[in-house]
Amino acid sequence: MEDLIQKTAEVLTSAKYVVALTGAGISVESGIPPFRGKGGLWEKFDPMEVGHIDSFMKNPARVWKIFMGEMKTILAQAKPNDGHKGLARLEEMGILKTVITQNVDGLHQLAGNTDVIEFHGNFAWLYCMACGKRRRTVDVDLSQIPPRCECGGIFRPDCVFFGEMIPTEALERSQEAASRCDLMLVVGTSAVVQPAAFMPVIARQHGATVIEINPEPTPLTGMTSAFLLQGKAGEIMKKIIARLDETAAAKRRS
Ligand code: OAD
Query: pLDDT means per 10 residues in the chain (254 residues)?
Result: 95 97 97 86 81 91 77 80 98 97 95 97 92 91 88 94 94 98 98 96 98 98 97 98 93 86
Which residue range is the domain that position 128 belongs to? 33-77+122-159
Question: Does 43 share its domain with 15?
Answer: no
What's the number of domains the chain is made of? Answer: 2
pTM here is 0.94
- C-beta of 156 in contact with ligand 1 (< 6 A): no
Question: Does 109 share its domain with 235?
Answer: yes
Check which CATH number belongs to the domain holding 137 and give it: 3.30.1600.10
How many whole angstroms from 25 Cα to the centroid of ligand 1? 5
Is 84 an active-site residue? no
Q: What are phi and psi of 218, to 5 degrees?
A: -130, 175
Residue nearest to atom 25 of ligand 1 (CA): 189
- C-beta of 209 in contact with ligand 1 (< 6 A): no
For residue 160, give the ligand 1 atom closest to its CA.
39
Q: Does residue 104 contact residue 120 with C-beta atoms inside 8 Å? A: yes
